[in-house]
Amino acid sequence: MQNPLTPEVLADPVALTRVLVDMESVSLNEKAIADCVEEVLRSVPHLTTYRHSNTVMARTDLGRPQRVVLAGHLDTVPHNDNWPSTMRGDLMYGCGTSDMKSGVAFALHLAVTLPDPRYDVTYLFYEAEEIESRYNGLTLVSQAHPEWLEADFAVLLEPTYGIVEAGCQGVLRATVTTTGARAHAARSWHGSNAIHAAGEVLRRLTAYEARRVTIDGCDYREGLNAVGIHGGVAGNVIPDRCEVEVNFRYAPDRDPAAAEAHVREVFDGFDLVVTDSAAGAAPGLDAPPAREFLEAVGAEPIGKLGWTDVARFAALGIPALNFGPGDPNLAHHKDEHVEIGKIRDGAATLHRWLTPA
């Protein structure tokens, strides 16, 4: 098959976005798009290119005093009658337009067209961001080739609608369990209803007052919510067990241990098991490349309300932020789309930042 990433396409971030969107790459099916990206990058003389599974890395080695990373994931969520792409005026519709083929287009366009950036640049095009962490390309690279991730600063090209979303929230998931005693529903007084006991769990959640935190001028709003409830034995049995799944999104001034301690305090007296936990990331705006990036954007940053792979870089001591043309509110939606103007403006911003003065 002829590679659709032609020189003409690579020269235009808008055309490149559409071609990338039309290359099907639902999570765990990224081989074809990774093959095309790898072929392009290996043909660029100012880059050294490597591959691990379906993650492709290319880097300059110009002897610059600082190195930055531009990273974007190649995969998308499953299609929802929204593939291939369509154009409606100045909007491009299709699965992955916002999250995040338009961001990937930025990195691929710059990798090919900017041979002499002001920093050394590592371009990472990675697999399986949209599914479990064990498949995530950054996770796999950090285990097999940690030197690929070494840098002074990183930009995750996630959808942010053209503004800087700094850092990210941490996330903790837990199961709160209530217990009782089974009995026949006709003689309920012989038992103890575990689902009724869950009412106190829900009451505490309803009364919970979420904390708002400002870090380096960026606001983060926490949230603790029930996201699932499971209980019941049969239509004529008083249940002896009920589980409430809770999700805690917390500001990056808490670490996972502090987040867990807080959730356990909220549900004191109940059995609680943490099922998943991922640390957040501080804004990281003090790094010189970050300050210069903010100057190129020309707008104040905001805190990222959600978890992104910036946390993986933060865990390695690398400050990172999110920046991309898509609207994060449209990610995973059937009518996912991106504005053509946002693609052009974002590409110009990155070019302005990376071009030597």
Which of the residues are catalytic?
75, 129
Element (H, E) at 281: none
Cα–Cα dist 246/260, whole Å: 12
Tokens of 66: 């600082």
> What is the C-alpha separation between 273 and 217, in angstroms, rounded?
34
Q: How far apart are CA 13 and CA 164, in angstroms?
A: 19
Instruction: Give the whole-angstrom CA distance, residue 37 versus residue 228.
Output: 40
User: Cα separation of 336 and 94, whole Å?
Assistant: 6
Site of tokens 């990172």: 320
98 contacts 337 by C-beta, under 8 angstroms: yes
Contact 154, 313 (CB under 8 A): yes
What is the DSSP-derived secondary structure letter of residue 79?
P
Burial status of residue 41 (CB atoms within 10 A of its CB: 0-12, 13-18, 19 or more): buried
H/E element, 124: strand 120-126
Residue 248: which residues within 8 A CB-CB, separation 6 or more? 171, 172, 173, 174, 222, 223, 224, 259, 262, 263
Biggest CA–CA distance in the chain, Å, is 81
β 165-166/86-88 pair status = unpaired
Query: At residue 59, what are phi and psi to the nearest 5 degrees?
Result: -145, 150
Q: Could you tell me the CA-to-CA distances from 134 to 28, 99, 201, 318, 351 in Å, in that order?
A: 12, 20, 31, 21, 33
